[in-house]
Amino acid sequence: MSKLTGGPAAQILKSYLGLMDKYDYYFFNELWPENYDYEKATTFTEADQAFLSANKEEFADRFQTVLLKKNLYLNGFMGPIGMMWTQQAYEEQHTTPKKSN
C-alpha cells in the first residue's frame, strides 16, 4: 500500500490498526477465513450494509474498514488489488439501477 499511495508504511499500518480498534465490534464479529475468498470479499452482507449506513459522517473510515476486513485472511492480506475488487463490487451494487418487475 505504501508503494501505491506514496505514504509511509508505518502510517498506513497505524491507520489500519486504528480502524480495527475503533470498529472492533464489526471487524472482529466473525472468524476470518483461512484463505482469500473472492466471492466473500465482493459480497456485502446485511451486517456490512448496516455498518456502512450507521453513520454517514464516518462513511469513509467505515468503508476502509470493510475493505480491510474483506481482504484479510488467516494466511495473508490480498492487498490493493483485493481492496480494489471489493470497492468495484460495492460501486457496481450501489450505482447500477435496479430493475423493477
- What gap in Å lies between CA 29 and CA 77, rounded to an integer? 18
Q: Greater confidence, 36 or 3?
A: 36
Q: Is residue 72 included in any domain, yes or no?
A: yes
Residue 11 lies in a domain: no
4-52 tens-digit pLDDT: 667 778 888 899 999 999 999 999 999 989 999 999 999 999 999 999 9
Task: State the total domains in the chain.
Answer: 1
- Asked if residue 69 is part of any domain, the answer here is yes
Specify the pLDDT at position 6: 72
What pLDDT does residue 101 have? 53
Query: Is 80 a domain residue?
Result: yes
pLDDT band (50, 70, 90) for residue 68: very high
| Residue range of the domain that includes 82 | 59-93
In a domain, 18, yes or no: no
Helix (H) or strand (E) holding 79: helix 79-95
Give domain status of residue 9, yes or no: no
d(CA 33, CA 59): 25
Contact 1, 11 (CB under 8 A): no
